[in-house]
Amino acid sequence: MLQDTFRHQGLRRQLVVQLKEKGIDNELVIESIGKVPRHLFMDNAFLEYAYQDKAFPIACGQTISQPYTVAYQTQLLDPKKGEKVLEIGTGSGYQTAVLAEMGAKVFSIERHKPLHEGTRKLLDSLNYVSVKTFYGDGFKGLPAFAPFDKIIVTCGAEMIPMNLVEQLKPGGMMIIPVGPLAEQTMTIVLKKSNGETEVIEMDKFRFVPMLSDKAR
């Protein structure tokens, strides 16, 4: 069932070439994208599109992020082996798997129960067993597991959630798309060793919204 054929691998190599052409130059990010079988994170109906550089619909009206967006956020986050990374918005689990391939200790929260449950099964079957997934509200973070070296938010937030900044280690970093529904600015939030924050704004993207509470 969970097949990764030569055809898939060939398509994935072409995707990696495209990402390099678009400016992704972190070798570890490129390697990780090259390893994760993105087609297995999508509905069968979209199999042939899995290695196009496009976002696609998944369950619960959500999307699997565009590979370029995943590579871009991961490159900014630059997770090192063994770092504790909190992800908000597990969704398909694709970004989660890329972070795990980079050697991060991943904690990921999703507010849609069917997505949380389906993705947990998939991650287990692909042997990403050390990734910890949670059904809950990302705005709350995971106080019981804080502090984190890094936080990555994969949905668009209207403002920087201070709750999440609090769960960062001093010297830590959060990558978060911030802005209204129509368009968000990819934002780097650096938490300095004295606890002060520095905010750096990068390029524009369009994400599904970060919404409060678990979905009912």
* Element holding 18 (H helix, E strand): helix 6-21
Nearer to ligand SAH, 62 or 184 (CB): 62
Nearer to ligand SAH, 158 or 198 (CB): 158
Rounded Cα–Cα distance for residues 10 and 4 (Å): 10
Catalytic residue among 32, 65, 92, 108: 65
- What token pair was written down for 103? 């050697």
CB of 153 to ligand SAH, least distance (A): 8
Where does this chain bind ligand SAH (CB under 6 A)?
62-65, 88-89, 91-92, 94-95, 109-112, 115, 137-139, 154-155, 208, 210-211
Say if CB 42 and CB 92 are below 8 A apart.
Answer: yes
Task: Respond yes or no: is residue 65 known to be catalytic.
Answer: yes
CB of 71 to ligand SAH, least distance (A): 11
* Element holding 85 (H helix, E strand): strand 84-88
Nearer to ligand SAH, 192 or 214 (CB): 214
CB of 163 to ligand SAH, least distance (A): 11
Nearer to ligand SAH, 106 or 155 (CB): 155
Distant-in-sequence, close-in-space partners of 64: CB < 8 Å, separation ≥ 6: 38, 41, 42, 55, 56, 58, 91, 92, 94
CB of 192 to ligand SAH, least distance (A): 26
CB of 27 to ligand SAH, least distance (A): 21
Nearer to ligand SAH, 179 or 198 (CB): 179
Rounded Cα–Cα distance for residues 96 and 73 (Å): 12
- What token pair was written down for 211? 């919404």
Distant-in-sequence, close-in-space partners of 139: CB < 8 Å, separation ≥ 6: 161, 163, 164, 210, 212
Rounded Cα–Cα distance for residues 3 and 36 (Å): 12
Rounded Cα–Cα distance for residues 30 and 155 (Å): 22
Residues labelled catalytic: 65
